Amino acid sequence: MTDAALSHLDVEDLLVELLDRVREILNVDTATVLLLDPSGQQLVATAARGLEEEVRQGVRIPVGAGFAGRVAAGGQPVRIEHVDPTNVVNPILLDKGIASMLGVPMIVAGRVIGVLHVGTLTPRWFSDDDVDLLQRVADRISLATQARLASIDRATTVALQRSLLPGRLGMIDGIDAAARYVPGAEVGVGGDWYDLFVLPSGHVGAVIGDVAGNGLQAAVVMSRIRSALRAYALESNDPAEVLTRLDRKIQLFEPDAMATVVYAVLDPTRDQAVMSVAGHLPPVLAEPGRPARLLDVPVDLPLGAYPYTRRRTVDVPLTHDSLVLFYTDGLIERPTRPIDQGLELLVGALTPGSAERVCATLMAALIGDEPTKDDVAILVLHNGHQ
Amino acid sequence: MTLTVSTDRRDGGILYLIVTGEVDLATADVLQQGIAAGLEADDVPGIVVDLTEVTFLDSSGIRVLLKGRRSAEERAKSYLVDAPRGVARRILDLSGVREHLAYQGTEGR
């Protein structure tokens, strides 16, 4: 079977095809792939031939325990001539009457990603040639699996970002709003996000944030933080209180995560915004007849940094026709210039106009045709189109 | 896109991590491993992360520095991020974290 013919298959289908080949070549009764779960602590039966119940029952083997667990922990092949309860933990192997087994690690870039094992119903001593052959097959399967999983991760991440970040905001309760999200050239889709919502009280919440990290993991954490923020926003109009609760939630449930956020609450008359800033770059305000400026906001620690962080707010008066710009560091940070130069460029590029036009102008001025390494999000609010 | 972390023992065993280059998503792990190795070594009473020669620092780098301080606190070791000037200092100031990146451990245990 050629790689091209395999290329359209899902991971499980791909593995099942390859396992059938393994059974033929080695003349064995069962062939199974277990992949390491994201925690790195457990092997999960992902594809099996001859032992399909392993997959159907969702067999999980702790790394270090049992037969497959020993293969993964040692990163070395393991042979068992006589299977019995002292050398395997999985009751399915005993129930099926598996007599002999051979398992090899699946390794990509020096890291164990899973285990491939085969078994026979009649006793057999697997030769060194058998071990070499199975290891070569495992190496091929590992690469194919890793590539497939990575491409599924990328597609899922993009889909998740798309579902969470509406491209077009338009008029929201008297506010003309627009936003952009661009994945980074080097890191792909990451953890940046923006949000804008009307609360039952008539207040409007505006959010920009950046979850450290990239890929599916960062996007998933971002989606949880984004919805938790919305939930807390329903309970309080004080942005510092909302971020305090959100921080507490992250400390407990996402101990490895860290996120920077600006949360702004616009009052129902739209003549003031109250903001709280968690480790994020300051928003920019442009009022008619005055040069745009970075807001002088007190910056508290990012979410997830330390427990019980004190959070402050600042009141920002909003005049008619003023613009507020929220952005993530990917917009201004470049290895080739100091950050202050990026901030100056940004402030200089912010000129009055509709939110959509401002977004387009800013992206052209700050990014142009140059790919950014980090992802970029911006949110522009244009006040006073009642 | 390069980052190097060199180490030096000074002042009663304090481990200095001299960081040079760009700290970003691709390189932050290198810094994290340097900090973790220093904090895990039994004979290191504390570490100083010197960012003077850093030319780029983004949110993934800030995360590593903050996690380092938390981990130092858990191990009761002193921790200081030294960014007297330059790119790193400005970014740490803008992010509101610079004053939080020092911890006085229980030295001389």
How sure is the predictor about B45, in pLDDT bands with cuts at 50, 70 and 90? Answer: very high
Range with the largest mean pLDDT of A49-58, A214-223, A369-378, B63-72: B63-72
Contact A302 B94 (CB under 8 A): no
pTM: 0.81
Instruction: Please enumerate, as own/partner, the contacts of A53-57 that have beta carbons within 8 Å and a separation of 24 or more.
Output: A53/A92, A54/A90, A54/A92, A55/A12, A57/A92
pLDDT for the residue B106: 60
Using CB atoms, which residue from B26, B55, B70 is nearest to A186?
Answer: B26
Contact B95 A260 (CB under 8 A): yes
pLDDT tens-place string over residues A354-382 = 999 999 999 999 988 887 878 899 999 99
* Distance (Å, whole) CA B72 – CA B39: 6
Using CB atoms, which residue from A330, A335, A339 is nearest to B22?
Answer: A335
* Distance (Å, whole) CA B14 – CA A385: 59
Distances A318 to A6, A209, A241, A266, B40 between C-alpha atoms, Å: 59, 22, 22, 9, 51
pLDDT tens-place string over residues A286-338 = 998 899 999 999 999 999 988 889 999 999 999 989 999 999 999 998 888 88
pLDDT for the residue B108: 43
CATH number for B15-103: choose from 3.40.50.620, 3.30.750.24, 3.40.50.10210, 3.10.20.30.
Answer: 3.30.750.24
Instruction: Please enumerate, as own/partner, the contacts of A93-102 that have beta carbons within 8 Å and a separation of 24 or more.
Output: A93/A51, A93/A67, A93/A119, A96/A30, A96/A51, A96/A121, A97/A121, A98/A29, A98/A30, A98/A51, A99/A123, A99/A124, A100/A124, A100/A125, A100/A126, A101/A67, A102/A77, A102/A78, A102/A126, A102/A130, A102/A131, A102/A134
Using CB atoms, which residue from B56, B67, B95 is nearest to A299?
Answer: B95
Q: CA-nearest residue of chain B to A215? A: B25
Q: CA-nearest residue of chain A to B21? A: A335
pLDDT tens-place string over residues A251-298 = 999 888 999 999 999 999 999 999 999 999 999 999 988 999 999 999
**Looking at CA atoms only, how far is residue A225 from chain B in angstroms?**
16
The larger pLDDT score, comparing residue A9 to residue A43, is at A43
Using CB atoms, which residue from A212, A300, A340 is nearest to B59?
Answer: A212
Contacts of B62 in chain A (CB under 8 A): 212, 258, 260, 279, 302
The single-letter code of the amino acid at A154 is R
The CATH number of the domain covering residues in A165-383: 3.60.40.10
Contacts of B58 in chain A (CB under 8 A): 329-330, 333, 374
Residue B23 · residue B56 · CB < 8 Å: yes
Q: Residue A288, SS3? A: coil
The CATH number of the domain covering residues in A3-156: 3.30.450.40
Q: Examine the pLDDT at A62 and tell me if it is beyond 50.
A: yes
ipTM value, please give it: 0.84
pLDDT for the residue A1: 46
Distances A211 to A253, A280, A305, B93 between C-alpha atoms, Å: 15, 11, 12, 19
Burial of A310 (0-12, 13-18, 19+ CB in 10 A): exposed
Q: Examine the pLDDT at A159 and tell me if it is beyond 70.
A: yes
* Distance (Å, whole) CA A177 – CA A179: 7
